Amino acid sequence: MQSFSLKRLLIGDPLSTAQQAYERLTKVKALAVFSSDALSSVAYATEEILLVLILAGSGAVRLAWPLSLAIAGLIAVVITSYYQTVHAYPKGGGSYIVAHDNLGVLPGLVAAAALTTDYVLTVAVSTTAGVAAITSAFPALYPHRIVIALASITLITIANLRGVRESGTIFAIPSYLFIITFLSMIATGVYRWFSLGMPPALEPQHVPPAIHGLTLFLALRAFSSGCTALTGIEAISNGVQVFKPPESDNAGKTLIILAILSITMFVGVTFISHQFGTVPDEATHETVVSLVARTVFGGGSPFYFLVQGATMLILMLAANTSFNGFPRLASILAQDDYMPRQFALLGDRLVYSNGIIILGLLSAGLVVAFGGQTTRLIPLYAVGVFMAFTLSQMGTVLRWCRLRGPHWQLKVAINGLGAAATGVVSVVIAATKFIYGAWAVLLFIPLLVAGFQAIYRHYQKVASQLSLETVGPPPRIRRHRAIVPIAGVHQGVLHALEYARSISEDVTAVYVEVDPDETARVRERWEEWGSGVRLIVLPSPYRSIIGPLMDYVNKVDDIRRYDEVVTIVLPQFVPAQWWENLLHNQTALLIRLAFLFRSNTIVTDVPYRLQA
């Protein structure tokens, strides 16, 4: 009862199936719901570019500006391509669905595996980046960053288990607060630059000595790190069906707004950091956004703390985007028999609870494994994102070619350009980040695909063996050979013995001897209470219970008739309070598990419930 009450306190009372409904979203609300991941990426994308370039000294830092323009162009290409996708799939077209429908099963599973890694990494990266925004404002909290991140993931997990729906009102306030404060910071910074007479970029301060030459590989590595600015763009295409009608048109317009905001905010913060010589400070662990806000507003200004608070909130919301996306993807895969079917089940609060819990645990494990540092997680990030982008756009190209329709050549060209661009970037990211951690993702994705296929084969095998189409006459069981394992003689044993005698005329009690003195007492009491049932004592010099019992059952099985079945009747007393089970050994459970996979054997529990 106590655990039940705690569960209700944390996640609330159950909801009936009739209460399941999806909120239709306007463009204003949908932008807040689906764009938090994409918009929040600008909070750390510039910093990741600079962290790579400063390895080559202050002169290389200036390359951040042209790299940001190249990434901005890539954002425009990808969003234009997804604009076509939301019109092709008005009921939602995530990478798995698009790739599976148009490219086949294997590409679809690769897309699903890539998305799975992306969702887990999004929670870990967004949470640690959100914590970094707070520790930049309050440096004393930096040593506690892992605890803060884990607490944040726990709260988000519990909130989603409670069934926090994609409510525009909940998401709109922090999302639009971030947009307004970030754009205000950029506008103020540009105004200050104008007021100073538009001087050339200042020399970056606090740049450590160069430890790497400015090579093409380093520039490409910086570019691939900055491509994290594109993460989350796919979210709108996943949720087209929850837009208000006309769904595709509203989703497409929201994508255009997202493109304008993402490019403006990403290019804007990079421009200000470039003009004022702002680079990450490894000594203080302060983020670039925090340094830019200090430069623009002043460190003690309320506007500075407002920017940091809004950045933290939007990054936490970005983590929540994965808690919406991953459970849905897992449920679709489970319905297609590529993931355990538990992931397709709705929980008490009409959410996919199993997917939410697994995502929370995996992302928390990543945070701990990588020390709660965003920079260490970034090399693993974006590999899966661009792989999913590429497969989705390739699938959409094939869809247009198959269906044709008005202006299909133009649509093919747009999605083809998107597929080519993201494909090239995928290769660049994999190559430049391989030795820095991307190898783990590139190894994990095929392993995950193999896991999906193994699960599918299992379900197909089970379905084949359970099918009624191949059913034959069931084996006829004429009699049971009942075996009653005992650990002593008490009322629970007598209760089980009566049950065994009711189903079989061939009953044997089995006692595994680990203490000869105790055996003598058991024999004595059995003579009085055993009702004439024979007692077999199995010696166990190494004090094992399971081994001698299994050997005995094997011998019985060897001599049984074809129409007989061995039934093991387990006496089991049940304490009145759940916690009292902890005070007793679990031998009955171990016996049940030992014989679970054994053919021609039935295990039956006979509980004897104790009084409170």
Provide mean pLDDT across the span 441-454: 94
Write down the pLDDT at residue 3. Answer: 45
pLDDT at 471 over 90: no
Domain 23-458 sits in which CATH superfamily? Amino acid/polyamine transporter I (1.20.1740.10)
Residue 248 vs residue 239, higher pLDDT: 248
Confidence of residue 2 (pLDDT cuts 50, 70, 90): very low
pLDDT at 400 over 50: yes
For the ranges 96-110, 253-267, 274-288, 478-492, which has the lowest average pLDDT?
Answer: 274-288
Burial label for 611, CB within 10 Å (0-12, 13-18, 19+), is: exposed
Give CA 292 to chain center in angstroms: 33
**CA distances (Å), origin 349, targets 51, 141, 147, 340, 362:** 43, 35, 28, 20, 22
pLDDT at 570 over 60: yes
pLDDT tens readout for residues 296-352: 988 778 999 999 899 888 888 788 788 878 888 898 899 999 999 989 887 766 678
Burial label for 197, CB within 10 Å (0-12, 13-18, 19+), is: exposed
Write down the pLDDT at residue 499. Answer: 94
Work out the angle between the directed axes of helices 145-161 and 302-335 (0-180°, nearest 10): 50
pLDDT at 62 over 60: yes
Share of the chain above pLDDT 70, in %: 91
The phi and psi torsions of 482 (rounded to 5 degrees) equal -95, 130
Confidence of residue 168 (pLDDT cuts 50, 70, 90): low
Provide mean pLDDT across the span 463-472: 75
Strand partners, 569: 604
Q: Tell me how crowded residue 5 is: count the other CB atoms within 10 A of its CB.
A: 9
Strand ranges of the sheet holding 564-574, from the earlier edge strand across to the other edge? 534-539, 506-513, 479-486, 564-574, 601-609
Confidence of residue 68 (pLDDT cuts 50, 70, 90): very high
Give CA 164 to chain center in angstroms: 17
Confidence of residue 576 (pLDDT cuts 50, 70, 90): confident
Helices marked H in 336-437 — which ranges? 353-369, 374-377, 383-403, 408-433
The DSSP result for 145-190, as a single string, is HHHHHHHHHHHHHHHHHTT----HHHHHHHHHHHHHHHHHHHHHHH
Write down the pLDDT at residue 164. Answer: 53
Tokens found for residue 580: 């009292």
Provide mean pLDDT across the span 177-206: 86
Q: Tell me how crowded residue 7 is: count the other CB atoms within 10 A of its CB.
A: 12
44 touches 202 (CB < 8 A): no
Q: Tell me how crowded residue 584 is: count the other CB atoms within 10 A of its CB.
A: 12
SS3 3: helix
Write down the pLDDT at residue 325. Answer: 82
SS3 564: strand
pLDDT at 443 over 90: yes
Provide mean pLDDT across the span 438-452: 93
Write down the pLDDT at residue 166. Answer: 46
Interatomic CA distance for residues 98 and 218, integer angstroms? 34
- CA 361, 42, 38, 138 torsion: positive or negative? positive
Peptide bond into 246 cis (omega under 30): yes
Question: Which H or E run includes 351?
Answer: none
Integer distance in angstroms from the first to the last C-alpha of the chain?
Answer: 14
Question: Can you tell me which residue has the tokens 């600015």?
Answer: 229
Q: 564-574 and 601-609 as β-strands: parallel, antiparallel, unpaired?
A: parallel
Tokens found for residue 550: 């299994």
Peptide bond into 539 cis (omega under 30): no
pLDDT at 511 over 90: yes
Give CA 152 to chain center in angstroms: 15
Mean pLDDT, rounded, of the chain? 86
Confidence of residue 12 (pLDDT cuts 50, 70, 90): low
Question: Which H or E run includes 538?
Answer: strand 534-539
pLDDT tens readout for residues 260-279: 999 999 999 999 998 888 88
Domain boundaries, the chain: 23-458, 479-609
Question: Can you tell me which residue has the tokens 């409170």?
Answer: 612
Please tell me the total number of residues recorded for the chain in this structure: 612
Confidence of residue 610 (pLDDT cuts 50, 70, 90): confident
Confidence of residue 477 (pLDDT cuts 50, 70, 90): low
Interatomic CA distance for residues 533 and 525, integer angstroms? 12
60 touches 218 (CB < 8 A): yes
In angstroms, what is the C-alpha Rg of the chain? Answer: 31
Q: Give residue 609's identity as a one-letter amino acid code.
A: R
Confidence of residue 36 (pLDDT cuts 50, 70, 90): confident
Report field, pTM of the whole predicted structure over 0.85: no
Interatomic CA distance for residues 496 and 482, integer angstroms? 11
Looking at domain 479-609, its CATH class is alpha beta
Provide mean pLDDT across the span 464-486: 77
Write down the pLDDT at residue 1. Answer: 42
Confidence of residue 283 (pLDDT cuts 50, 70, 90): low
Interatomic CA distance for residues 521 and 487, integer angstroms? 11
For the ranges 162-171, 438-447, 516-525, which has the lowest average pLDDT?
Answer: 162-171
SS3 349: coil
**CA distances (Å), origin 521, targets 94, 211, 484, 489, 525:** 69, 80, 18, 9, 6
pLDDT at 19 over 70: no
Confidence of residue 456 (pLDDT cuts 50, 70, 90): very high
